[in-house]
Amino acid sequence: MSRLITLMFLFFASAYVASSEISIIHEPEKLNNATFIDIRDSSKCKFRTIQKSKCIPINGLINKDNIISFRDFYWLLSVNNLNHLDQVVIFGKNMEEAKLFAGMLYLAGHKKIYLLDMNIKDIYKNFKLGKGIERGLFRTKIYEGELQSHLIMSEKNLSTKSQRSNIINFVNSIIDGTHEKVQI
């Protein structure tokens, strides 16, 4: 009986990992209903970005000494009206920052995350542009992703730089298919 329960657990755990993914894409037009997230500074996103992109600046994830808490991150996702089942395409000034944001989303239980491998100049050439959508002041819905606490090893004395590096390496392990835990 316990063997059957173990096999069922492994089956459902592997199904969850298979349904959650982070991928690098070069042709996002294939994602018809995806939500685009511009992680550049808010002033740049508000002025000019891919039409209907949400402005969620990466510098908003980092406070003085640390990366923001998941409680605050969930609030940020809620005021940006994101659903954990939405397909999201993340882009910004560099891939490292996009991976940091993707790692936080993944750990927050987001299912389909794509990193746009295109520089800003190419984005401006290949997409219909407009002003970015700023976050609201209040939540219009609650972000319902399930925190992947089993993937997190908490470390109180890590510097912000180490935390960032660990999350980026974690995302690289997901993309490579090796799935490691992240120390933050």
Angstrom distance (rounded) from CA 118 to CA 161: 25
Which among 91, 20, 88, 107 is positioned nearest to 58, based on CA atoms? 91
pLDDT per residue as tens digits for the range 7-20: 233 333 333 444 46
Query: What percent of the chain clears pLDDT 70, i.e. is strictly above it?
Result: 84
**If we measure between CA atoms, which residue out of 36, 50, 134 comes closest to residue 86?**
36
20-183 architecture in CATH? 3-Layer(aba) Sandwich (3.40)
String of DSSP letters for 38-98? E-S-HHHHHHSEETT-EE--GGGGB-SSSBPPHHHHHHHHHHTT--TTSEEEEE-S-HHHH
Q: Which amino acid is at 99?
A: K
| Among 179, 128, 134, 140, CA closest to 21 | 179
pTM of the model: 0.83
Q: Examine the pLDDT at 131 and tell me if it is beyond 60.
A: yes
96-108, pLDDT tens digit by residue? 999 999 999 999 9
d(CA 51, CA 7): 46
Averaged pLDDT, 173-177: 80
Q: Average pLDDT over the chain, rounded to whole?
A: 82
Lowest mean pLDDT among 25-29, 86-90, 180-184: 180-184
Confidence label for 76 from pLDDT (cuts 50, 70 and 90):
very high
Q: Is the pLDDT of residue 150 over 50?
A: yes
**Mean pLDDT throughout 77-86?**
93
Answer yes or no: is pLDDT of 115 > 60. Answer: yes
Predicted pLDDT at 56: 96
Mean pLDDT of the 24-36 span: 83
Model pLDDT, residue 33? 86
pLDDT digits (tens, 9 = 90+) for 58-68: 988 876 667 88
